[in-house]
C-alpha cells in the first residue's frame, strides 16, 4: 500500500464524556452522530451512509445487547446494516477496522463507525466485575485477578526488569490530566500533582487510583469513505494510511513477556508498513492509557523509545503538548475518560481534530501524521491506525 490512503474520514463526533446521569447508551450515541452530521453539511446521512459498525463491550451495564441496530435506530439510520463489534476495550478500534474492510471491499461507499458505553450508573464492584470479563475466566477471574490486577502484574514486572518507578507512572497521570484540562469534553477538567497521584489509595499494587483510567459514559463516531470520494463531502478529510490489528492469548499468564504487548507490536508493525511511516515521523498520538503503565509500555511497543525506556520518556517531558511527540492530547483514557466501547473511535475523533487543526487549546502545531493505539483487555486484541492530514 505504501502510504496510499485506505479510506478517508470526512467527519467525526463525540458526546460529552463523564457522568451522564439518566442517559442511556443509545441516547449518548445520538449526541455523537449529531455532531458528526452537523460538521459535514454536504453529507445526507439517510442517503449516503450505507453501513454502520459500533463498538460496545458490555450488555451487563444496561441489560441491553444487540447494540448495532439499537443505536442505528437512535441515529436515524434505519434500515442500513448495523453490526456491533466486540473486542473488549478495543471494541471500536475493531469497528474502525470493520469499516475499513467494508469500504475497501466496495460493499459500502460511506460507513459510520463508532462506539458507546454507559457505565457510571453501576457500582465500582459491578464495573470491576464487568470489566474483568475482558480477561480469562477459568484462570484469571476465577482466582480473583481483576482487570487492574492484570496491569498491576505487568507493572510489577516492568518496575522489576527496567527500574521504572511509581513516580514515573504518576507522571503519565499528571500529563494526561494537564491535557484533559484543555479539552472541554473530557471527564476530568482538573490538573493533578505527582504527590496527589502517589498518595492516592491502592487499587492493585503497585497501581493506585490515579494510575487507573476513569469509569465514564460516552459515545464517539467517525464517518469513512473512499479517498477518491472524500472531496464530495469535505474539503479537509483526514486519510487513514495504515491499519493493523492483532490477537494474543486471552490469558496474560500464557505470554512470553509481561512487560510488552505482542499484539500491539504486531499491529503497529503492520500499520507502519502499510503507511510507510516510521515511529519518529509521528506528530501526535492517542495511546490506550487504561493504566499509566500501559502508556509507558505502549511508548516502547510503538517504537517511540527502546524497550525499557518508557519511564525515561515520560520523565523527559517529550510526550507533553508542545514537545516532540505529544501523547494523549485529549486527556487520554486517564482524564478524558474510558467509556470502554467508545474509546477506539474517540481516539480517531481526536486525530480528526488534530489533523484538521480544530483541536483548539490543545492543538499540536503542524501535526500531519497521527497514530492511535487501542488495546482490548490485557492485550488479547490491539489495533493501531495511522492517519495523514490532507491539509
The span from the first CA to the last CA of the chain, in angstroms, equals: 21
SS3 of residue 250 by DSSP: coil
Q: Does 145 bind other proteins (CB under 8 A)?
A: yes
Active-site residue, selected from the candidate residues 40, 89, 221, 305: 89
290 included as an active-site residue? no
DSSP 141-156: GGGT--HHHHHHHHHH
| Residue 149 interacts with other proteins (CB under 8 A): yes or no | yes
DSSP 189: -
Cβ 317 to other proteins, closest distance in Å?
A: 29
Can you tell me the distance from the alpha carbon of 372 to that of 380, in angstroms, rounded to the nearest whole number? 17
User: Minimal distance in Å, beta carbon 130 to other proteins?
Assistant: 9
* Nearer Cβ to other proteins (101/253): 253
Residue 233 has which C-alpha cell? Answer: 463531502
**Is residue 128 near other proteins by the rule CB under 8 A?**
yes
Write b or e for each residue in 321-336: b if 16 or more Cβ atoms lie within 10 A of its Cβ, otherwise e.
beeebbbbbbbbbbbb
Catalytic residue among 187, 239, 288, 338: 338
Q: Given candidates 193, 199, 205, 358, which one binds other proteins under the rule CB under 8 A? A: 205
Q: What is the largest CA-CA distance in the chain?
A: 56
Q: Shortest gap between Cβ of 150 and other proteins (angstroms)?
A: 9
Is residue 251 within the footprint of other proteins (CB under 8 A)? yes
With CA atoms as reference, report the closest residue to 373 among 268, 218, 277, 247: 268
Determine if 215 is a binding residue for other proteins (CB under 8 A).
no
The answer to the question of residue 143 lying near other proteins (CB under 8 A) is yes
Q: Which three cell numbers stand for residue 95?
A: 469497528
Q: Tell me how far, at minimum, the Cβ of 255 lies from other proteins, in Å.
A: 8
Stretch that binds other proteins, among 55-63, 134-142, 292-300, 340-348 (CB under 8 A): 134-142
111 belongs to the binding site for other proteins (CB under 8 A): no
Whether 230 contacts 111, CB under 8 Å: no
In terms of DSSP bridges, do strands 207-208 and 202-204 run parallel, antiparallel, or are they unpaired? antiparallel
Give the residue numbers annotated as catalytic, written as ranges: 89, 338
Residues lying near other proteins in the complex (CB under 8 A):
124-126, 128-129, 132, 138-146, 148-149, 152-157, 160, 201-207, 251-254, 258
Amino acid at each position: 500500500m505504501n502510504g496510499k490512503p485506505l479510506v478517508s474520514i470526512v467527519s467525526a463526533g463525540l458526546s460529552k464524556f463523564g457522568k451522564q446521569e439518566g442517559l442511556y447508551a443509545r441516547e449518548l450515541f445520538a449526541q455523537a452522530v449529531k455532531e458528526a452530521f452537523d460538521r459535514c453539511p454536504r453529507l445526507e446521512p439517510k442517503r449516503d451512509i450505507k453501513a454502520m459498525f459500533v463498538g460496545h463491550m458490555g450488555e451487563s451495564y444496561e441489560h441491553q445487547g444487540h447494540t448495532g441496530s439499537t443505536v442505528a435506530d437512535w441515529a436515524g439510520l434505519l434500515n442500513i446494516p448495523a453490526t456491533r463489534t466486540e473486542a473488549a476495550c478495543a471494541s471500536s478500534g475493531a469497528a474502525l477496522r470493520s469499516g475499513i474492510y467494508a469500504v475497501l471491499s466496495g460493499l459500502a461507499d460511506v460507513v459510520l463507525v463508532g462506539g458507546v458505553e454507559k457505565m457510571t450508573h453501576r457500582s465500582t464492584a459491578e464495573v470491576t466485575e464487568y470489566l474483568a470479563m475482558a480477561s480469562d475466566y477459568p484462570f484469571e477471574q476465577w482466582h480473583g485477578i481483576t482487570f487492574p490486577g492484570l496491569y498491576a502484574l505487568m507493572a510489577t514486572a516492568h518496575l522489576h526488569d527496567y527500574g521504572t518507578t511509581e513516580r514515573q507512572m504518576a507522571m503519565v497521570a499528571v500529563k494526561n490530566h494537564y491535557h484533559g484540562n484543555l479539552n472541554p469534553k473530557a471527564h476530568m477538567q482538573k490538573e493533578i500533582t505527582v504527590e496527589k497521584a502517589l498518595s492516592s489509595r491502592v487499587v492493585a499494587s503497585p497501581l493506585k487510583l490515579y494510575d487507573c483510567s476513569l469509569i465514564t459514559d460516552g459515545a464517539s463516531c467517525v464517518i469513512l469513505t473512499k479517498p477518491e470520494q472524500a472531496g464530495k463531502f469535505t474539503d479537509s478529510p483526514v486519510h487513514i494510511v495504515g491499519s493493523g490489528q492483532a490477537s494474543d492469548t486471552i490469558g496474560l499468564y500464557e505470554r512470553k513477556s509481561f512487560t510488552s504487548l505482542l499484539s500491539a507490536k504486531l499491529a503497529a508493525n503492520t500499520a507502519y508498513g502499510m503507511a510507510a511511516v516510521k515511529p519518529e515521523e509521528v506528530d501526535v498520538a492517542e495511546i490506550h492509557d487504561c493504566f499509566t503503565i500501559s502508556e509507558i509500555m505502549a511508548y516502547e511497543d510503538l517504537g517511540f523509545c527502546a524497550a525499557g525506556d518508557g519511564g525515561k520518556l515520560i520523565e523527559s517531558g517529550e510526550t507533553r503538548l508542545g514537545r516532540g511527540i505529544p501523547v494523549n492530547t485529549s486527556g487520554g483514557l486517564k482524564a478524558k475518560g474510558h467509556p470502554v466501547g467508545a474509546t477506539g473511535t474517540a481516539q480517531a475523533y481526536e486525530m480528526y481534530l488534530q489533523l484538521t487543526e480544530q483541536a483548539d487549546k490543545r492543538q499540536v502545531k503542524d501535526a500531519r501524521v497521527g497514530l492511535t493505539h487501542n488495546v482490548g483487555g490485557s492485550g488479547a486484541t490491539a489495533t493501531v491506525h495511522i492517519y495523514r492530514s490532507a491539509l
